Each structure stands twice: as C-alpha cells, then as structure tokens.
Amino acid sequence: MNAIDRTPADLLRSALATDPTRPLVTFYDDATGERVELSVATFANWVAKTANLLQGDLSAEPGDRLALLLPAHWQSAVWLLACSSVGALVDVGGDPAKADLVVSGPDTLEEARSCPGERVALALRPMGGRFAQTPAGFSDYAVEVPSQGDRFAPYAPVDPDEPALVVGGLELSGTELVDRARADAESLGLKSGSRLLSGLGYDSWAGLSAGLFGPLAVGGSVVLCRHVDQLPPDGLTQRIESERITNTAV
C-alpha cells in the first residue's frame, strides 16, 4: 500500500492500482449457505456506485453523520468505504435519531425510522437481492444502486483529519483509522497477500479492523464469516484449508 494513503478510500484506490483482480472480500453466511467473493475491482465498483448514491440521490456531504445499522457483511464493508469516499462520518450502530442518514438491515427497520433524514434499507439477501416489498419510508438499496455510475468523484475534497468513524465509543479520523489499521495488521502478522478469516462482528473496532481495514491496509484480503458458530465441528478447519487462510480472528 502507498505510504501517503490517509483514508480508507485512499487504501482502496491503491489496492485497485496494484492488483484489481485479486480477491479482497470473501463473505460467508453460515446460516444460509451463502458465499460471495469480490475482487478488488468488483468491490471498488460497488463502492463507487454506493458513493454516487450517497452523494447524488441522498445528498450526503462531508461531515454528515450516517448511522450504519448492519451486521458484518460484504455490503456493510461497501458502505464503510463509500462513506469514506464521500467524507461522511459512519456511526456504526449509532442512534438514527441523531444522524443525518441511516442505513439499516431488515432487523433494525423500526429503530431506523427515528432518523429525520434519508433512510436506506438492505434486505441482506444472497447476491444483494432486494426486498419483496420495499419497507415504508425507506429506499431499497438493491433497487437504487445498480443504475448508479461506475466511477465516483467527490463534489468536495475529503479532509483526512476530520472524523470518519465512530464505533463502540471510539472516534477516529481518516488518518487515525488508517494508522490504527496498519498497526493492527502488523500485530496480527498480516502482510501483502495475507488472507485473514474473521468471525468477529462489525460492532467493535476489533471486528472492523480484522474484518476489513487491517487486511485492506497491507494489501491482504479477508474471509468474513457471519454465523460462524453454526458451522459443523470440523467446518472451520475445512474452510481455513480451502480458503488458504494465513491468519484468523474468531
């Protein structure tokens, strides 16, 4: 990764320039049997489309607070990088009533309705499927995002020293987030080409770092496992072998 990268969006741009074809995020939902693998290029395309949705249709600006009510999921990872691209502050699990926008999964819709601003809902169905019926008061992400542009350019520069992430009472600027992710990656022994399996949630910095930011910061990749506790006794060992895992955080 480039030493001058100062935001998560910078890290993704460097990864795209270095090797766009390598896997970046592989997602398993062991409650449904879903497996999705996204290369750097595919992940970056989802991020660009989501950032265009944020900036264009949802009118998000640098400094706006977005309450992210999503579990550890590949689409959650996309939203985290899209917010970094726009300059919006991501408040993971934050109070929607105090946010400018909210992004919610299917299990938190009632809570998300307290947001006074724009509301986006994700069905979290396999392959990014849409709701059978769009929840009242929300835009369906799976309906809105496909038509968005494949390239993104922010209307205003993103200041890497402004707050970028709030999780579990911890607030980090873009620069602090990148520095902390690099330090975490080093402590985990991650390097370019490392493949980390994470069964941690996204409701803590440890989960976000292992499940996205740490591998991204050093040119590695993540195998993100939701409901990993539902694997059979030897399931995790088999996955570690089949996915060529070099490091784990479970």
Does the predicted TM-score (pTM) go above 0.75?
yes
- At residue 137, the pLDDT reads 97
pLDDT by position in tens, the chain (length 250) = 666 899 999 999 999 999 999 999 999 999 999 999 999 999 999 999 999 999 999 999 999 999 999 999 999 999 999 999 999 999 999 999 999 999 999 999 999 999 999 999 999 999 899 999 999 999 999 999 999 999 999 999 999 999 999 999 999 999 999 999 999 999 999 999 999 999 999 999 999 999 999 999 999 999 999 999 999 999 999 999 999 999 999 9
Give the tokens for residue 122.
Answer: 């994700």
Taking the domains of the chain in order of start, what are their residue ranges? 8-249
Alpha helices in the chain (DSSP H): 8-18, 40-52, 74-86, 109-112, 141-144, 174-187, 205-208, 214-218, 235-242
8-249: CATH topology is Rossmann fold (3.40.50)
pLDDT of residue 2: 67
Q: Check residue 1 and give its pLDDT.
A: 62
How far apart are the C-alpha atoms of 9 and 170, rounded to whole Å? 20
Q: Give the DSSP H/E element, type plus range, for residue 224.
A: strand 221-226
